[in-house]
């Protein structure tokens, strides 16, 4: 038997084993990344589902923030460092959006999954809180809440690309039971 042939076959077998291991590792890394993204997405959803966060949403979107922003002292307190979050829950709300923007911008969770479920809320939050952001940027500079700004910008782009939503084109639509008179 030719030892050169045996050596060549041995090298080929070793290469095949290493290549198969590398392919298996790539698949395993993809599964781990997907699991991490699911975990991060669920954490983001859990954060905005808490009763405390829901109270802040009510505060921001249902008039109380608008009334308070009319007060010059309230606006002045907003410019102090650190901001009193008990007095200014809108800043806690902004911080949550800032964190979400950072997580998505860094690719720690799927932008597509976030946009599919949350882009409209992000745009509404940006529109509602932009006066607060403008005030904060007067003293803290343009980088304050820039991850939220990025996320809102991406959300607007997403909505422009999907004006009719993301319902699959090949799936039949169902008619909801519209039983209540106008």
Q: Is it the case that residue 172 has pLDDT exceeding 90?
A: yes
- The model's pTM: 0.77
Structure tokens at 22: 């590398």
Mean pLDDT calculated for residue range 97-108? 91
Alpha helices by DSSP H, 141-166: 146-161
Per-residue model confidence (pLDDT) at position 110: 84
Secondary element (H or E) of residue 105: helix 89-105
Taking CA atoms, 100 is separated from 163, 170, 173, in Å, by 23, 32, 32
């Amino acid at each position: 038997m030719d030892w050169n042939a045996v050596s060549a076959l041995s090298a080929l077998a070793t290469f095949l084993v290493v290549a198969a291991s590398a392919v298996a590792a790539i698949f395993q890394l993809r599964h781990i990344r997907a699991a991490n993204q699911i975990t991060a997405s669920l954490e983001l959803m859990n954060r905005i589902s808490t009763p405390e966060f829901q109270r802040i949403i009510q505060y921001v979107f249902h008039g109380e923030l608008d009334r308070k922003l009319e007060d010059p002292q309230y606006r002045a307190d907003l410019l102090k460092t650190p901001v009193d979050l008990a007095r200014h829950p809108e800043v806690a709300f902004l911080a949550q959006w800032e964190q979400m923007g950072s997580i998505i911008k860094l690719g720690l969770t799927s932008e597509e999954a976030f946009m599919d479920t949350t882009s409209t809320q992000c745009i509404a939050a940006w529109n509602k809180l932009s006066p607060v952001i403008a005030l904060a940027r007067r003293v803290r500079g343009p980088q304050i809440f820039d991850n939220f700004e990025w996320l809102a910008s991406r959300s607007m782009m997403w909505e422009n690309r999907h004006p009719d939503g993301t319902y699959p084109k090949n799936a039949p639509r169902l008619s909801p039971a519209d039983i209540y008179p106008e």
